[in-house]
Amino acid sequence: MIKAILLAVASTVAGRTFTVQNSCSFTVWPAIFTDLNAGSSALSTKTGWEAPGGSEFSFTVPENWKSGRIWARTGCDFTNSEGIGSCVTGGCLGGLQCDANVVAHPPVTYAEFTLNNNGQDHYDVSLVGGFNLPIRISNTAGCGYAECTVNLNEHCPEPLKVPIDPNGTVAACKSACLAGLGGPPMNSPNCCTGRFALPAKCPPSGVEYYTYFKNACPNSYVYAYDESSGTALWTCPSSKKADCE
């Protein structure tokens, strides 16, 4: 079984210290993205690194970090390529350190953060763009855990599988939206787009394979309007400056 990538958060004078721990037995290549259009300043840390199994890496983010994402890449080899194809899953432009202006090539599991938004820290583990590795965001402040600690690749439904060899070893599991099910992606009940672009028009019951992801990982964000589940988007008072692990 694949163990989770753990994310820890602690407070410092300059901001928050995030610690990414690789609890897998194999090497992964974590990466960080900040959406500068959301009003957050760029991070001073590197945007990607190699993380052997059991290792951890800490970095500081500002107290008002907005729309931040962290994910893990697998099967990377940057010898001859710096494009998205240099990793089996989660690849990005830029090589080891991802281009700061782009996110991962899906399918990928995201840890997402917006700090100090009306006095609350918001965080979630997103499967909206599919799944590649388990992730957990935990804390010591008594706030809820966002997590998907199950290896969803093991029983991934056939239409969602991303195989990497002739034997069918599954590297990642697409969401129904990403797999192109349910019609054109700009007008799809699986993507909550077009005439389905409102919560009332895009209930979870209309999203294919929603229960596969949500039953296995109830504390994760599975589709565009999953907040109605009550276990998708997590908050913690910013004043607690939570230590997380």
Question: Could you read off the pLDDT of 42-75 as tens digits, one per residue?
Answer: 788 899 999 999 999 988 888 888 899 999 999 9
Q: Provide the pLDDT for residue 35.
A: 87
Q: Provide the pLDDT for residue 11.
A: 54
Nearest to 6 by CA among 137, 179, 185, 200: 137
Could you tell me which residue, 94 or 85, shows the higher pLDDT? 94
Q: Which residue type occupies 11?
A: S
CA distances in angstroms from 37 to 34, 151, 156, listed in the order given: 9, 33, 34
Q: Provide the pLDDT for residue 36.
A: 84
User: What is residue 58's three-state secondary structure?
Assistant: strand
Nearest to 238 by CA among 3, 14, 15: 15
Answer whether residue 89 shows pLDDT above 90.
Answer: yes
Beta bridge partners of 11: 16
Tokens of 121: 């820290």
**Rounded Cα–Cα distance for residues 75 and 229 (Å):** 34
pLDDT confidence bin for 159, thresholds 50/70/90: very high
**Rounded Cα–Cα distance for residues 135 and 200 (Å):** 30
Q: Which residue has the tokens 């010898």?
A: 79
Going along the chain from its start, the domains and CATH numbers come out as 5-175+209-240 (2.60.110.10)
- The overall average pLDDT reported for the chain is 88
Question: Could you read off the pLDDT of 200-240 as tens digits, one per residue?
Answer: 999 999 999 999 999 999 999 999 999 999 999 999 988 76
Could you tell me which residue, 126 or 3, shows the higher pLDDT? 126
Q: Provide the pLDDT for residue 8.
A: 55
Q: Provide the pLDDT for residue 3.
A: 41
Q: Provide the pLDDT for residue 2.
A: 36
Cβ atoms of 126 and 110 closer than 8 Å:
yes
Q: Provide the pLDDT for residue 80.
A: 78
When pLDDT is averaged across residues 117-137 and rounded to a whole number, the result is 94
